[in-house]
């Protein structure tokens, strides 16, 4: 049997970790696109509750988790830390492989860690409904699950290609009381404008964000809820990394290398930031931290580090991040949650500063890694998670050649039970390894906003 390291319910961290307190230099602020001045609370309060705005801008190292949020967390937290002994044996590696398993949450991923918190803060602020976007559907189902606890309505704009590829996610959202709409849609002006240009558009997270933001901005009783990218989302997800640190302490281990998949960056940041804090403060200067993304949407490895809109319709503040351009619509790969043109500004800054490195992978090699994992460890992984598993397997095989007994850790962000059609396509040899579409990205980057050199 694999080694499992558990914590008791009374050991769930009662504070989130804010890496902004430990950055070497401050994060570049979001900008108001009209004035190019730093965006303040007044620029955000139309779609976010004030408590989340405060968390977005906070420099406090630790922020208390509300008791009401902890009460919901206890449904599935703390999550187990596994040692993948059978995978190690199959690879014949001297490396130790550990993973934090987030597939035990009711929606099946890490996403409720922030969805529950966002639903709570919006309910406290007197909001009746939340509007959001979702790629593969994990975020949409997590928010639907969370709003059901706090008696909120929920509207989810789901990227059309995922809406079609993963029908059971939208059914799950409806079961928890949410409305799920294929994006681009005819409901919003942002959606209609996209469909006028391209009636067959398969959608993107940038487009779906535009629709959700427009929905929130045009309804007084509605706020916008985002499942990744923003600082407060990353903050809430650190519950995973904080638990993992406690679990490693119980077995007197500390990872040599850490891995996570990156689309917007929330699960990656949540799983590794409490460890990255040790690196940037000098406690673990040699720590290797790897952000893993798809070759079809290689934001960190091929994007520009500059200010850009977070959405296609240019409704969000400008964020300093690696970007492929807000107009970029990535190919319809099966890792739907990783199809985003930008990334978390905090993750991007740490990559820019050299504290984190990035690596991109093709989807066939990713599914090959996931298939090996299911045959050895038993869990069927989400295709998103399989990107960092591929990186871990590669490193474990390098350790086999070198004889190094490294400790490798990855954030196993969710199960792939609703991705069976993707696995079937892989086994039938129907998956396409999309190359980086350089010309399309070049066209998209030509439309970056002019920030006067900021």
Q: 171-181 pLDDT, tens per residue?
A: 999 999 999 99
Q: How confident is the model at residue 452 (pLDDT cuts 50, 70, 90)?
A: confident
Query: What is the Cα 20 distance to its own chain's centre?
Result: 18
pLDDT at 372: 98
The model's pLDDT over 353-387, given as tens digits with 9 standing for 90+, comes to 999 999 999 999 999 999 999 999 999 999 999 99
Answer yes or no: is pLDDT of 337 > 80.
no
Least confident range from 32-46, 115-129, 182-196: namely: 32-46
Average pLDDT estimate for 321-335: 84
pLDDT at 439: 81
Answer yes or no: is pLDDT of 335 > 70.
no
Average pLDDT estimate for 194-223: 93
Least confident range from 226-235, 239-248, 260-269, 436-445: namely: 436-445
116 or 311: which leads in pLDDT: 116
pLDDT at 336: 67
Q: How confident is the model at residue 86 (pLDDT cuts 50, 70, 90)?
A: very high
Query: CA-CA distance, 6 to 427, in Å (whole number)?
Result: 35
| Other CB atoms within 10 Å distance of the CB of residue 75 | 13
- CA-CA-CA-CA torsion sign (378, 384, 389, 390): positive
Average pLDDT estimate for 132-142: 91
Label residue 22 exposed, middle or buried (CB < 10 Å: 0-12, 13-18, 19+).
middle
Average pLDDT estimate for 240-255: 97
| Percent above pLDDT 70 for the chain | 99
Average pLDDT estimate for 129-147: 94
Radius of gyration of the chain (CA): 20
Q: Average pLDDT over the chain, rounded to whole?
A: 94
The model's pLDDT over 117-128, given as tens digits with 9 standing for 90+, comes to 999 999 999 999
Least confident range from 60-69, 144-153, 256-265, 430-439: namely: 430-439
Map tokens 């086999």 to a residue: 400
pLDDT at 304: 95
Least confident range from 5-9, 84-88, 170-174, 310-314: namely: 310-314
Q: Which helix (H) or strand (E) holds 175?
A: helix 167-175
In this prediction the pTM is 0.95
Q: Per-residue DSSP letters for 88-126?
A: HHHHT-SSEEEEEE-TTSTTSBSTHHHHHHHHHHHHHTT
Q: List, in sequence order, every beta strand (DSSP E) within 35-172.
A: 62-64, 81-83, 96-101, 129-134, 153-159
Count the alpha carbons within 13 Å of 314 in the hemisphere toward its beta carbon: 12
Average pLDDT estimate for 153-168: 92
Answer yes or no: is pLDDT of 1 > 50.
no
pLDDT at 204: 86
Q: How confident is the model at residue 435 (pLDDT cuts 50, 70, 90)?
A: confident
pLDDT at 2: 54
Average pLDDT estimate for 91-107: 97
129-134 vs 81-83, strand pairing mode: unpaired
The model's pLDDT over 276-305, given as tens digits with 9 standing for 90+, comes to 999 999 999 999 999 999 999 999 999 999
Q: Domain 3-8+67-108+231-445 has what CATH class?
A: alpha beta
Using an 8 Å Cβ cutoff, are 293 and 301 in contact? Answer: yes
pLDDT at 328: 86
């Amino acid at each position: 049997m694999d080694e499992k390291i558990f914590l008791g319910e009374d050991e769930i961290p009662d504070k989130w970790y804010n890496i902004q307190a430990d950055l070497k230099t401050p994060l570049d602020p979001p900008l108001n696109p009209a004035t190019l001045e730093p965006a303040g609370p007044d620029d955000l309060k139309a779609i976010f509750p004030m408590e989340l705005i405060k968390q977005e801008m906070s420099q406090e190292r630790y922020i208390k988790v509300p008791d009401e949020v902890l009460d919901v967390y206890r449904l599935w937290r703390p999550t187990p830390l596994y040692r993948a002994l059978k995978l190690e044996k199959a690879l014949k590696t001297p490396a130790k492989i550990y993973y934090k398993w987030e597939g035990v949450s009711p929606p099946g991923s890490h996403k409720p860690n922030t969805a529950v918190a966002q639903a709570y803060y919006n309910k406290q602020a007197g909001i009746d409904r939340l509007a959001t976007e979702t790629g593969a559907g994990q975020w949409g189902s997590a928010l639907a699950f969370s709003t059901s606890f706090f008696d909120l309505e929920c509207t989810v704009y789901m990227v059309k290609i995922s809406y079609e590829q993963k029908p059971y996610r939208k059914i799950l959202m409806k079961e928890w009381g949410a409305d799920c709409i294929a994006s681009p849609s005819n409901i919003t002006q942002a959606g209609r404008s996209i469909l006028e240009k391209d009636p067959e558009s398969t959608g993107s997270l940038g487009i779906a964000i535009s629709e959700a933001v427009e929905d929130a901005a045009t309804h007084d009783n509605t706020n916008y809820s985002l499942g990744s990218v923003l600082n407060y989302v990353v903050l809430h997800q650190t519950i995973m990394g904080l638990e993992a640190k406690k679990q490693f302490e119980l077995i007197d281990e500390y990872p040599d290398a850490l891995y996570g998949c990156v689309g917007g960056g929330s699960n990656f940041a949540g799983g590794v930031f409490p460890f990255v804090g040790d690196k940037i403060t000098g406690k673990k200067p040699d720590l290797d931290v790897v952000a893993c993304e798809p070759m079809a949407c290689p934001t960190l490895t091929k994007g520009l580090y500059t200010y850009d809109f977070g959405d296609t319709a240019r409704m969000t503040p400008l964020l300093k991040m690696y970007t492929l351009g807000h107009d970029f619509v990535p190919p319809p790969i099966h890792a739907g949650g990783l199809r985003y043109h930008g990334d978390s500004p905090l993750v991007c800054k740490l990559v820019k500063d050299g504290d984190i490195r990035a690596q991109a992978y093709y989807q066939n090699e990713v599914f090959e890694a996931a298939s090996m994992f299911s045959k050895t460890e038993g869990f069927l992984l989400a295709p998103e998670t399989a990107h960092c598993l591929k990186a871990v397997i590669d490193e474990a095989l390098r350790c086999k050649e070198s004889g190094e007994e490294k400790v490798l850790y990855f954030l196993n962000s969710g199960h792939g039970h609703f991705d069976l059609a993707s696995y079937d396509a892989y086994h039938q040899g129907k998956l396409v390894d999309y190359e980086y579409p350089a010309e399309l990205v070049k066209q998209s980057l030509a439309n970056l906003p002019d920030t006067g050199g900021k």
